[in-house]
Chains A and B, each alone.
Chain A
């Protein structure tokens, strides 16, 4: 049986005294899309960079295609593709020239015209890198990552700064890569991106793995729905407790900030009615009151007490 695409075991990374990655373990199966999800500063990029061979682990081990990314760097590099979070090109280089250069470093590069067309880079081929929009730079970065026909691509925040159309193009390409047998590892702090693309999601926060599973496994969880209540004036201090006693103890009530509360649990239309009556009795005016299915956002909230996007 071939080695897993990526195998990280007990990884620890520090910057000075600060622990960026704390005993993280995860396995990535070949031919899958895996999302590493977490807020900014969670340690996603650092983790990725150990797999790309940029940093040696301070403790623990990292294997990519069964190889040590630092020691076996030379034999591993041609087999992986890397999309950095930003930059990676000379400021005066033209987009097509940069892509052609990276292609020349590989033995069997993709057809450049087809690749540029696929990523919508055909129109900006002659444009110097510094004049490309953020989204175009991202797409060029993705093109550079896959032009060498790698077995694994590591993409760091692939759709940050992209418009919706470019995001869709990027997602479709990542799905096609998986279809062709390429392993895709991506970091993101977009829930919808992870939910749409990933076969497996690892949620990390403060350098620690806090949950792992398929999108379905993660969102199924214990509870099934959420109610979000946003009000016009700050809640009275005992609001969470009094709301919980009104709803019964099968639900969790989390105070997000002084004007919003999230209720997770077996919530339904009658719970909505209870919340609405509670507002009336406590002289609270709702700005919005919504019932929704449990999302990754809610999972993250339950695990950390914070919102991911903030």
Chain B
């Protein structure tokens, strides 16, 4: 086979580059066992374990456990992908020179970010589908809160993704790995993401201002009452703006 090396430079059209980048990142995430564990397996275990546990231990919930826990687990799934997975994968991309390599390709930074967001959305659609099906099998009976859910998922993704990139931008890859997992565990336990703020007593007043608490509350409000939790969405918006501003100032590409 002959190889015609004559120069014929040119960037691919922007949408095609973004689709290629998103598809590539989504494929790599799905291939990575640890990421899948975080994205799907842990949320499903938390959901099944929570619903089963509530049969034996009174969690003091105002509604049926499955109706409270399913939207919370959806929030957890978003947090695991948009925050923990994104931070870890971006941290290692920096370490392995992937971001530097792509920095000399025709893909602009906006395209790289758009690709990352696209990959997150692909994974999240998968997560929402799996968690919802498991929830429905356990008897989940949500109100029609599609608008509230969609807004919460989008703003929650934006807030957590900006914080994940902030972490990956300032720490070394190994430190990012450790910190992203630690924060995830802390928020899972104490961040009012799976359980409502009413389960945390006085600390609930603090937890609702955390991105985890705000996302969890917004999801529960939408699924339990069919409403839009404007205050919680506002909290997510502020976290997203803060994370974006700090990331823009601190992110190093190498």
Contact B97 A110 (CB under 8 A): no
A108 at the interface (CB under 8 A from B): yes
B residues less than 8 Å from A91 (CB atoms):
92, 96
Q: Which residue of B lies closest to A104 (CB)?
A: B20
* Complex partner residue of A77 from B16, B92, B105, CB under 8 angstroms: B105
Q: Does A78 count as interface, using CB distance less than 8 angstroms?
A: yes
Q: Is A227 an interface residue (CB 8 A)?
A: no
CB distance from B195 to the nearest CB of A (A): 35
Considering the chains assembled together, what is the distance between the CA atoms of A113 and B2 in angstroms?
Answer: 10
Segment of A13-21, A81-89, A210-218 engaged in the interface with chain B: A81-89
Q: Is the CB–CB distance between B17 and A104 below 8 Å?
A: yes
Q: Is the CB of B106 within 8 A of A148?
A: yes
Given contacts A77-B105, A92-B31, A176-B5, contact A107 B98 (CB under 8 A): no
A39 at the A/B interface (Cβ < 8 Å)? Answer: no
* B105–A118 touching, CB < 8 Å: no
Question: Do residues B8 and A84 form an inter-chain contact, with CB atoms below 8 A?
Answer: no
Residues 32-68 of A contacting B (Cβ, < 8 Å) = 52-54
The one of B7, B101, B103 in contact with A87, judged by C-beta atoms closer than 8 angstroms, is B101
Q: Which residues of chain B are within 8 angstroms of A105 by Cβ–Cβ distance? A: 11-12, 17, 20, 105-107
Q: Per-position contact with A for B1-40: 1 when CB-CB < 8 Å, else 0?
A: 1111111111111001100110010001001100000000
Known interface pairs A101-B24, A106-B11. Does A117 touch B101 (Cβ–Cβ under 8 Å)?
no
Which residue in B12, B96, B254 is a CB contact (below 8 Å) of A106? B12
Interface pair B98/A149, CB less than 8 Å apart: no
CB–CB A114/B1 < 8 A = yes
A150 at the interface (CB under 8 A from B): yes
Cβ contact within 8 Å between A90 and B96: yes
User: Given known contacts A88-B101, A105-B105, A105-B106, is B5 in contact with A110 (CB within 8 Å)?
Assistant: yes
A240 to chain B minimum Cβ distance, whole angstroms, is: 46
Query: B17 touching A80 by the CB < 8 A rule?
Result: no
| CB pair A92 B108 closer than 8 Å | no
Kindly state the separation between the CA atoms of A4 and B1 in the bound complex, as whole angstroms: 33
**Which residues from A are CB-within-8-Å of B10?**
78, 106-108, 148
Q: Contacts A149-B5, A180-B4; is A107 near B11 (CB within 8 Å)?
A: yes
Tally of chain A residues near chain B (CB < 8 A):
45
A87 to B99, CA, bound (A): 10
With contacts A53-B104, A104-B17 known, is A114 near B98, CB below 8 A? no
Q: Check if B5 sits within 8 Å of A77, measured CB to CB.
A: no
**B5 adjacent to A88 (CB under 8 Å):** no
Q: Check B9 against A88 for contact (C-beta < 8 Å).
A: no
Assess whether A182 is in contact with B5, with CB atoms less than 8 Å apart: yes
Q: Which of B7, B17, B100, B105 lies in contact with A181, CB distance below 8 A? A: B7
Give the shortest distance, in Å, between B15 (CB) and chain A (any CB).
12
Confirm or deny: A123 has a beta carbon within 8 angstroms of a beta carbon on chain B: no
Give the complex CA separation of A49 and B10 in angstroms: 21
Q: Could you tell me the distance in whole angstroms from the C-beta of A154 to the nearest C-beta in chain B?
A: 9
Shortest CB-to-CB span from A291 to chain B, Å, is: 41
A166 within 8 A of B: no
- Docked Cα-Cα span, A179 to B2, in Å, equals 14
Cα separation A93 to B97 with both chains bound (whole Å): 13
Give the distance in Å from the alpha carbon of A74 to the alpha carbon of B97 in the complex: 20
Given contacts A84-B101, A148-B106, contact A89 B96 (CB under 8 A): yes
User: Which residues of B79-107 have CB atoms within 8 Å of chain A's CB atoms?
Assistant: 92-93, 96-98, 100-101, 103-107
- Tell me which residues across on chain A come within 8 A of B8, comparing CB atoms: 108, 149
Instruction: Please state if B97 and A87 are interface contacts (CB–CB under 8 Å).
Output: yes
A180 to B5, CA, bound (A): 6
How many angstroms from the CA of A77 to the CA of B12 in the assembled complex?
12
Alpha-carbon separation in the docked complex, A277 to B108 (Å): 68
A244 within 8 A of B: no
Known: A104-B16, A105-B105, A106-B106. A180 touches B6 (CB 8 A): yes
Given A54-B100, A84-B100, A117-B1, A92 and B7 contact (CB-CB distance below 8 Å): no
Determine how close the nearest CB of chain A comes to the CB of B157; give it in whole angstroms. 22
Nearest to B5 among chain A residues (CB) is: A180
Can you report 12 residue pairs joining A to B where beta carbons are below 8 Å apart? A52-B104, A84-B101, A89-B98, A104-B20, A105-B17, A106-B12, A107-B10, A107-B12, A107-B13, A108-B8, A110-B4, A179-B5
Q: Which 8 A-B pairs have the closest CB atoms?
A: A87-B97, A88-B101, A107-B10, A180-B5, A114-B1, A82-B104, A104-B20, A78-B11
Residues of B within 8 A of A (CB): 1-13, 16-17, 20-21, 24, 28, 31-32, 92-93, 96-98, 100-101, 103-108, 254
